[in-house]
Structure 1
Amino acid sequence: MAEFPTRAIHSGQAPDATTGAVVPPLYLTSTYIQDGIGGMRNGYEYSRSANPTRDSLQELLADLDGGRAAFSFASGLAAEDVLLRSYLAPGASIVMGNDVYGGTYRLASKVHVPWGVRLSTVEMSDLDAVRAALAQTRSGSSTRSGSSTRSGSSTGTGGSTDAAAAAKTVLWIETPTNPLMKIVDIAALAEIGHAAGALVVVDNTFASPYLQQPLSLGADVVVYSTTKYLGGHSDVVGGALVVQDEQVAADVQFLQNSAGAVSGPLDAWLTVRGIKTLAVRMERHSANAQRVAEALVGHPAVERVYYPGLPEHPGHDIAQRQMRSFGGMLSVALAGGPAAARSFAESTEIFALAESLGGVESLIGYPSEMTHASVKGTELAVPENVVRLSVGIEDAGDLVADVEQALTR
């Protein structure tokens, strides 16, 4: 098998058969001529169900993560929602980390809990606590975050009985976490999850498939916001699931088509374009973030630097074992408290104050009021002195100088 950078450029990207164009064409079409009633050409009838450009992206994603199938959606949260609705039913359970992305927690707690799914949060680095949380789901009791007793029926996407669907559990892992960069052992958690009969899901957005391969470590499903490192240029919104189990893949495919939150062909084409440079970008993101993190360590204005590439970072050894490198994301706790954090976030010149992450340009954000505002007042609330940096691929010296000048404002 070819190495990752080669597959990122060529998998699913055969030259156009008609013209020989090296870049496959963008299929901006909603429908397809049929050869008689019910006579689809090569499986295409309507672009919600299938589109050649989206298919090329899905083939590429499945290959890069080593999955059975991949599915591309209009956003990362759309991908998460389809996965949860296709697998769970009222009475089923989700066990997730106590510092997952705020949007993921909002989706689970504000959409799926009212539907009847139980939600528990746990410190994922505490393996015994994870075992206990999973054991509670099997006993039918809820832990934190509030459980709903609203009744309902199964969606029936996989033909399971209501009772069987309600007994299911999803173990939701995020590593590195957003924004405190916690690292957890995917292989160990996958073993624990499978022993409890749970579907093991890993949000791999921060690492990307170049830096981390969750399926090879035992996960069942990988989730991405393709808006971030996969697209890589802050010009497209999307999400994806990469699935190993045949039945899970069939259920996701059914709901992807039935609910319709698919990525459009232009979004898929832009994401493919971004993935072609993923390997070289992630190398530069990682190298730059390491430089910035090391420059911030020991700075008198900085209380703590959260970056897995630092030897003192909790989980550094695990990250060394399961990641190719440490990625482009880091967070900083300011010694001067919330006021200092706000000032820092608003004083950089190269780092742009903006939502999102993973683009070629450097971004800075204040999670408590921006990306994680939805979890304020909960266990997942981000400390108000924390600032998150998405380190881009600009010159590393310029980036270091920018954060240093911002700390002196």
Structure 2
Amino acid sequence: MSNDPSVPPTSPDSEWKISTRAVSHGRPAPDPGAPVNESITLSSTFHAGGPLDYGRVGNPTWTALESTLADLESTQSALCFPSGVAAISAVLDLVPVGGVVVAPAHPYSGTRGLLNERQSAGRFTVREYQPSPTADISAELQGADLLWIETPSNPLLEISDIAGLSQQAHAAGALVAIDATFITPYIAQPINFGVDLVVHSVTKFLAGHSDVIMGSVATNNDELATRLHTIRTLGGAIVGPFEAFLALRGIRTLGVRMDRSIANAQTIAERLLTLPVVEKVRYP
């Protein structure tokens, strides 16, 4: 499934670095006199005959944001949701009734809440694993439908081998989804390590200004993208065009902000290590 804009955003050269792509993608065509930013499209309906018909199905401002996220993640498509938890919930909806989800023992609290609630309701079974760079979870993956990876995890910053876990999951016939919120596409694109679905809380590093609640899912699998779009459309879990505009604006400075965040975190971690009252520092 492809994101189909009413006005195709510009397409940066694939060889451009990630910061340049974040600045350049998702903008209107550079025609003389044209605006450099995607407009905020406040319309519930669209004239017949075009790629859009109703505002719950699509919006040009979403399209600019989603095409940018897909470009940054090196995927064919991306879909935005009104929160990170809504994005996670949509991915979990892909698991068949009675299925099996293999998840880390200490995931983000919102993820843990969704897993617990759905397991208690009999929606699916959850098997836990302990993340580590050398984890062998082949036993837990037997008969599983979905492997959930979170690295670095929130808040314990546990590290997993994305490629290794993805290989184990695919050998067992399971899909692989990753919460890559703390990585961001600035650091790595998990799709290149064998992941099927890349989930973000756009709220955090991507939007970056503490003024947007949003989530996203990116994938190279057209069937999964179509199913996720259906889940979003029928469930009404859509983002507002203003929020999409704010998130896209935030992404423009992703590279600058990530460089500073990484440098600041490194300095803080090093200083904490010198304090006798600090027993342990979890970093990265």
TM-score under structure 1 length normalisation: 0.64
Q: Does 1:14 align with 2:21?
A: no
Matches for 1:202-217 after TM superposition, within 5 Å: 202-217=178-193
Where does residue 51 of structure 1 map in the other structure?
59
- Answer yes or no: is the 8 Å Cα contact 1:15–1:23 preserved in 2: no
Where does residue 234 of structure 2 map in the other structure?
258
2:73 to 48, 65, 79: 65
Gaps of 5+ in 2: 1-13
- Answer yes or no: is the 8 Å Cα contact 2:102–2:148 preserved in 1: yes
Q: Does 1:239 align with 2:215?
A: yes
| Structure with larger Rg | 1
Matches for 1:5-404 after TM superposition, within 5 Å: 5-15=19-29, 19-34=33-48, 40-41=49-50, 43-85=51-93, 87-125=94-132, 129-135=136-142, 138=143, 169-308=145-284
Judged with a 3 Å threshold, the aligned counterparts in structure 2 of structure 1 residues 69 and 19 are, in CA distance, closer, same or farther, namely same
- Answer yes or no: is the 8 Å Cα contact 1:76–1:240 preserved in 2: yes
TM-score under structure 2 length normalisation: 0.91
- Once the two structures are superposed, what CA deviation does each residue of 1:279-299 show, in whole Å capped at 9, x if it has no partner? 111000000110010000031
Shift in Å at residue 44 of structure 1? 1.2
Shift in Å at residue 126 of structure 1? 7.2
Deviating above 4 A after TM superposition, structure 1's stretches of 4 or more consecutive aligned residues are 15-19, 126-129
Judged with a 3 Å threshold, the aligned counterparts in structure 2 of structure 1 residues 169 and 121 are, in CA distance, closer, same or farther, namely same
- Answer yes or no: is the 8 Å Cα contact 2:81–2:215 preserved in 1: yes
Shift in Å at residue 195 of structure 1? 0.5
What amino acid is aligned across from residue 18 of structure 2 in structure 1? F
- Once the two structures are superposed, what CA deviation does each residue of 1:293-315 show, in whole Å capped at 9, x if it has no partner? 0000031111111002xxxxxxx
Shift in Å at residue 113 of structure 1? 4.3
What amino acid is aligned across from residue 96 of structure 2 in structure 1? A
Judged with a 3 Å threshold, the aligned counterparts in structure 2 of structure 1 residues 7 and 128 are, in CA distance, closer, same or farther, namely closer
What amino acid is aligned across from residue 5 of structure 1 in structure 2? S
What amino acid is aligned across from residue 7 of structure 1 in structure 2? R
CA RMSD in angstroms, aligned pairs only: 1.6
What amino acid is aligned across from residue 30 of structure 1 in structure 2? S
Give the whole-Å Cα distance in 1 for the aligned partners of 2:122 and 2:55: 30
Shift in Å at residue 262 of structure 1? 1.1
Give the whole-Å Cα distance in 1 for the aligned partners of 2:29 and 2:41: 14
Where does residue 317 of structure 1 map in the other structure?
none
Give the whole-Å Cα distance in 1 for the aligned partners of 2:168 and 2:141: 9
Give the whole-Å Cα distance in 1 for the aligned partners of 2:266 and 2:32: 46
Give the whole-Å Cα distance in 2 for the aligned partners of 1:109 and 1:306: 26
Shift in Å at residue 111 of structure 1? 3.1
Give the whole-Å Cα distance in 1 for the aligned partners of 2:133 and 2:91: 26
- Answer yes or no: is the 8 Å Cα contact 1:29–1:47 preserved in 2: yes
- Answer yes or no: is the 8 Å Cα contact 1:15–1:24 preserved in 2: no
Shift in Å at residue 115 of structure 1? 4.2
- Answer yes or no: is the 8 Å Cα contact 1:122–1:129 preserved in 2: no
- Answer yes or no: is the 8 Å Cα contact 1:74–1:261 preserved in 2: yes
Give the whole-Å Cα distance in 2 for the aligned partners of 1:113 and 1:17: 55
Aligned residues: 270
Local SS of the residue matching 1:57: helix
Give the whole-Å Cα distance in 2 for the aligned partners of 1:80 and 1:112: 15
Shift in Å at residue 12 of structure 1? 2.0
Local SS of the residue matching 2:281: strand
- Once the two structures are superposed, what CA deviation does each residue of 1:365-396 show, in whole Å capped at 9, x if it has no partner? xxxxxxxxxxxxxxxxxxxxxxxxxxxxxxxx
Where does residue 142 of structure 1 map in the other structure?
none
Where does residue 7 of structure 2 map in the other structure?
none
What amino acid is aligned across from residue 59 of structure 2 in structure 1? N
- Once the two structures are superposed, what CA deviation does each residue of 1:49-89 show, in whole Å capped at 9, x if it has no partner? 0100001111000010011210001001111111111x212
What amino acid is aligned across from residue 270 of structure 1 in structure 2? L
Gaps of 5+ in 1: 35-39, 139-167, 309-409
Where does residue 18 of structure 2 map in the other structure?
4
Give the whole-Å Cα distance in 2 for the aligned partners of 1:287 and 1:210: 14
Give the whole-Å Cα distance in 1 for the aligned partners of 2:135 and 2:36: 52
What amino acid is aligned across from residue 251 of structure 1 in structure 2? R
Local SS of the residue matching 1:188: helix
